[in-house]
Amino acid sequence: MNVLSRSCRLACAALMLFAATAKAEPEPAALVDQHHCMFCHTRDAPFLAPSFEQIAARYRNEPNARIMLEHKLRLGGKAHWGDMAMPLPADRGGPISAEDAHTLVQWVLSQ
């Protein structure tokens, strides 16, 4: 009886953990698709652009980075990684609202 309830508790905890991580993903994914972020970026391998893991590692602990990145996503700015600046939103999927930029930057920095 004891063993049974313990293994049930473990299984339930694992299920809940899975549900929690699975739920965290889809929200920005629609935005990421809509704005073609993965056309140039990947999560973990630099390709046409730095990977989101590299970007997260560089900015995660910089208190003002979020504001700068949200601004840059919406309005552009100078290149920080090389010669090629990120194209403006109009050349990607269309304008990005302040809220969407916030969501996207939160997501990138959590990679």
Q: Binding residues for ligand HEC, per CB under 6 A?
A: 35-37, 39-41, 48-50, 55, 69, 72-73, 79-82, 84-87, 92, 104, 108
User: Which residue, 14 or 88, is less far from ligand HEC as judged by CB?
Assistant: 88
Cα(62)–Cα(92) distance, integer angstroms: 27
The least CB distance from residue 83 to ligand HEC, in Å, is: 8
The least CB distance from residue 68 to ligand HEC, in Å, is: 7
User: How many angstroms separate the Cα of 3 from the Cα of each of 10, 12, 70, 100, 107?
Assistant: 11, 14, 51, 48, 40
12 is in an annotated binding site: no
41 is in an annotated binding site: yes
Residues 6+ apart with CB under 8 A from 69: 59, 105, 108, 109
Residues placed in the known binding site for heme c = 37, 41
